[in-house]
Structure 1
Amino acid sequence: MFRISDLTVTYGGRTVLDLERLHIAPGRFTVILGQNGSGKSTLMKILARQQRAGSGQVLLEDKPIEQYGQSEFARTVAYLSQNLPEAPGLDTRALCTLGRYPWRGPFARWRREDDQIVQKCLRAMNVEHFADTLVDHLSGGERQRGWIAMALAQDASCVLLDEPVSALDTAHQVEVVSHLARQNAETGIGVVAILHDINLAARYADDIVALKQGRLAFRGSPEELLDGSLLRELFGHPFSITRHPRDDRLVALSD
Structure 2
Amino acid sequence: MHGERLTSASGDSFPRSRYWRAISLSKGLKTKNLTLSYGSSPIIRELDLLIPQGKITVLVGSNGCGKSTLLRSLARLLKPRTGSVLLNGKEIAKQSTREVAKQLAILPQGPDAPEGLSVIQLVKQGRYPYQSWTKQWSKEDEAKVNWALEVTGLTSLAEHPVDALSGGQRQRCWIAMTLAQDTDIILLDEPTTYLDLTHQIEILDLLYELNEREGRTIVMVLHDVNLACRYAHHMVAIHEQKVYNQGPPELIVTKQMVKDVFHLQAQVIVDPFFGTPLCIPHGKGRQLSEQPLTAMGS
Name the TM tier (shorter chain).
over 0.9
Q: Deviations over 1:95-119 (max 9, x none)?
A: 1111011112256332222222111
Instruction: Report deviation, 1:171.
Output: 1.2
Of residues 104, 108, 111, the one that matches 2:135 is 108
Q: Deviations over 1:2-36 (max 9, x none)?
A: 22111112334322111331111221111111111
Bigger Rg, which one: 2
Change (3 A) 1:84 1:247: closer
Aligned partner of residue 94 in structure 1, secondary structure: helix
8 A Cα contact 2:250 2:276, kept in partner: no
User: Separation in 2 of the partners of 1:41 and 1:248?
Assistant: 28
In the alignment, which residue of structure 1 is the partner of 2:257? 230
Query: Alignment identity in percent?
Result: 36
User: Separation in 2 of the partners of 1:160 and 1:236?
Assistant: 27
In the alignment, which residue of structure 2 is the partner of 1:92? 119
Of residues 35, 46, 49, the one that matches 2:76 is 49
8 A Cα contact 2:113 2:122, kept in partner: no
8 A Cα contact 1:184 1:191, kept in partner: yes
Read off the aligned partner of 1:205 and give its amino acid letter. A
Q: How does 1:131-146 map to 2 (within 5 A)?
A: 131-146=158-173
In the alignment, which residue of structure 2 is the partner of 1:183? 210
Instruction: Report deviation, 1:49.
Output: 1.0
- TM-score normalised over the length of structure 2: 0.81
The runs of 5 or more residues in structure 2 that have no matched partner are 1-27, 283-298
User: Separation in 1 of the partners of 2:158 and 2:185?
Assistant: 24
8 A Cα contact 1:37 1:213, kept in partner: no
Q: CA RMSD in A?
A: 1.5
Matched, 1:164 2:191: yes
User: Separation in 2 of the partners of 1:107 and 1:177?
Assistant: 38
The runs of 5 or more residues in structure 1 that have no matched partner are none
User: Separation in 1 of the partners of 2:218 and 2:99?
Assistant: 18
- TM-score normalised over the length of structure 1: 0.95
In the alignment, which residue of structure 1 is the partner of 2:222? 195
